[in-house]
Amino acid sequence: MARMKIAVLVSGRGSNMQAILDASQDASYPAEIGVVVSNIAGAPALQKASDAGVKTVTVPHKEYPDRESFDRRVTEEIEAAGCELVVLAGFMRLLSEEFCEHWRDRLINIHPSLLPSFKGLDVHERMITAGVRFGGCTVHYVRHEMDTGPIIVQAAVPVHPGDDSKKLAARILEQEHVIYPLAVKWIAEGRVRISGEVVKVSGAKAPDGALVNYLE
């Protein structure tokens, strides 16, 4: 059975890209990265992808007069590589409505909070300031409004006493590397369906019980 080809969009180090790349080394994994596209020449993720034999493309956003023309060029590269799913992995560009609609329900992102809480930037510091007892991460389909869209999978991560933003970010990132390859796997297997703006995953089961933030 042919594996689903995915495009990964990156701007930086690409640790979530690497997690998907690692998962795809297993022949039974139903997806493979067809192209990695970056808006930043020299982004570390490009070298990681190249070392793994994955095609890489740089589309410098400053060379385009507006967001729409840049996004169209990115779409051309994705489609030329024959990719069916677009995965944002630290892609530090706001996407145009045109791009989001063109790739609607074929475009996913990961965000380091339990959406819809803590959208935007400086997430880990804001969690600690707010005194929440659980943070986490969310993989979701992308809509034009920032950090919105149907939620595919989430991981809850406890906030420990004495945490600073770096410690919490590192703990959440570990779970990002778990749930992003999982979400891609489910989509590639055809198990994900969107009903209204709610995701249904065939065969998935919610965990039993509850989490309590402090244990005695």
Neighbours of 58 (CB within 10 A): 14
- Residue 82 neighbours by CB distance under 10 Å: 10
The angle that helices 44-51 and 15-24 make with each other, rounded to 10 degrees, is 10
Helix then strand count (H, E) for the chain reads 6, 9
CA distances from 44 to 61, 63, 132, 143 (A): 17, 21, 33, 27
Beta strands in 39-183 (DSSP E): 56-58, 85-88, 107-111, 134-141, 151-158
**Catalytic site residue 160?**
no
Amino acid occupying residue 151: I
> Judging by DSSP bridges, how do beta strands 192-195 and 151-158 pair with one another?
unpaired
CA–CA separation, 68 vs 175, rounded Å? 33
8 sits in which H/E element: strand 4-10
| Catalytic member of 61, 111, 124, 177 | 111
Active centre residues (catalytic): 111
